[in-house]
Amino acid sequence: MSTLRVLLGYHHPWPNDAGLYQARDGGFLDDVDLRIAVVDPGRGDTLAHLARDEADLGIVPTNRLVAARGRGQRVTAVAAINQVGLETLHSLRSLGVQRPRDLAGRRVALNPTPRGLAMVRHLVATDGGDPDAVTIVDSGPRELQSRDLLAGTADAYFGAYWAWDELFDTHPPEDRLSWPVKDHGAPPFHSYVLVAREQVLEQDPRGVRAVLAGAARGYRAVADDPEAGAAAFERVTPWFPRATLRRSIELVSPTWFHEGTWGVLRAGLVDDYARWLLARGGLPHVDGLAGAWTSAFLPETAVSSAASVSSVASGAEATA
């Protein structure tokens, strides 16, 4: 039996991970002991933990994967978790804002990473506003809500996920404005991908394939029955309201599938997105883009469902 360790991107509960718990606890894994853990933020992100061989697989944003490979880290995306971007630009009508272009001359709070700055500028510019007229407020990694805007922190904030954060915002929904990047001019991209250390792909390809096959079943089971998915997640987050978990699963689960199939990695959602970020200063280079993803370990249905998927030459594929 293979023993593989998968590291999630955040602390519990984040329903984007529910399919992995369902795969393990639902008995969908063949001859794999899957050990699920969360990151220790004081010791870096998921990729930092993978670099220290503290896990075999991990869930990461696409841009961080490309950046890590550019630094020489041997990791490869083996499945997509999301088929769209989850991030959102938020504001309030009561602040006199109606659409992204109205943020010219206003303050936008975000963690000012090169990618975040590039995304905000693009959203404002695409809507006809002047991105140079936006004042950036550094909110660090903190996730804001409407009450922070009402307190004067900024006129808008960027980075929260429409499928999760708004569930906790008690401000009247008729005043809240949410502009998902997927609907407001951002290029399509995989918000999160499941990556593996290349050494693991070389040494245990059978185990990795079993994990992906089980994950495909787990994510489908959760999407088909959000109540059961919430119950499975509740075993690791017993303090969290099941109704909120269920609702968040209902919101995020459609992003898990491309034409009904989980895990599909599409060239444009990796390669084109990375080059889009490069052109806007969101990435310093894309030297690690070649071989950054592979479909070699996915179930056949995931490969055949995406017309844009092509064979990617990599050492991992050659040895699989």
Higher-scoring residue by pLDDT: 310, 28: 28
Q: For the residues 175-199, what does the mean pLDDT come to?
A: 95
Q: Are residues 197 and 302 in the same domain?
A: yes
Q: Select from 257, 254, 277 the least CA-distant residue to 64.
A: 277
Q: Of 166, 183, 200, which residue constitutes the final position of a domain?
A: 183
So what's the pLDDT on residue 78? Answer: 98
Q: Are residues 195 and 307 in the same domain?
A: yes
At residue 178, what are phi and psi to the nearest 5 degrees?
-130, 125
Question: How many percent of the chain have pLDDT more than 90?
Answer: 79
The count of other CB atoms within 10 Å of the CB of residue 117 is 20
Q: Of 161, 183, 205, which residue constitutes the final position of a domain?
A: 183
Q: Of 164, 183, 202, which residue constitutes the final position of a domain?
A: 183
- The rounded distance, in Å, linking the Cα atoms of 84 and 228 is 24
Q: Are residues 224 and 310 in the same domain?
A: yes
So what's the pLDDT on residue 141? Answer: 86
**CB distance 91 to 97 below 8 Å:** yes
Q: Residue 234: helix, strand or coil by DSSP?
A: helix
Higher-scoring residue by pLDDT: 200, 13: 200
pLDDT in tens, 80-130: 999 999 999 999 999 999 999 999 999 999 999 999 999 999 999 999 999
So what's the pLDDT on residue 191? Answer: 96
Q: Are residues 238 and 313 in the same domain?
A: yes
pLDDT in tens, 229-262: 998 888 888 888 899 999 999 999 999 999 999 9
So what's the pLDDT on residue 304? Answer: 61
| Cα three-residue angle 113-164-118, rounded to 5 degrees | 20
Q: Are residues 27 and 153 in the same domain?
A: no
At 301, list the tokens: 């249905």
First to last CA, the chain: 18
Domains in the chain, number = 2
So what's the pLDDT on residue 69? Answer: 96
Task: Note down the domain range covering 158.
Answer: 87-183
At residue 110, what are phi and psi to the nearest 5 degrees?
-165, 170
Q: Are residues 58 and 97 in the same domain?
A: no
So what's the pLDDT on residue 305? Answer: 56
Q: Are residues 179 and 196 in the same domain?
A: no
What is the CATH number for 171?
3.40.190.10
Q: Are residues 230 and 291 in the same domain?
A: yes
Q: Are residues 313 and 197 in the same domain?
A: yes
| Radius of gyration (C-alpha) of the chain in whole angstroms | 19
**CB distance 294 to 78 below 8 Å:** yes
pLDDT in tens, 10-64: 877 888 999 999 999 999 998 999 999 999 989 999 999 999 999 999 999 999 9
Q: Are residues 281 and 196 in the same domain?
A: yes
Q: Are residues 214 and 121 in the same domain?
A: no
State which H helix or E strand residue 318 sits in: helix 315-319
Asked if the peptide bond before residue 41 counts as cis, ω within 30 degrees of 0, the response is no
- The rounded distance, in Å, linking the Cα atoms of 8 and 17 is 7
Q: Residue 36: helix, strand or coil by DSSP?
A: strand
Residue with structure tokens 């903190």? 142
**CB distance 180 to 162 below 8 Å:** yes
Q: Are residues 154 and 128 in the same domain?
A: yes
Report, in this order, helix, strand and coil percent for the chain, each rounded to 5.
Answer: 45, 20, 40
Q: For the residues 280-293, what does the mean pLDDT come to?
A: 94
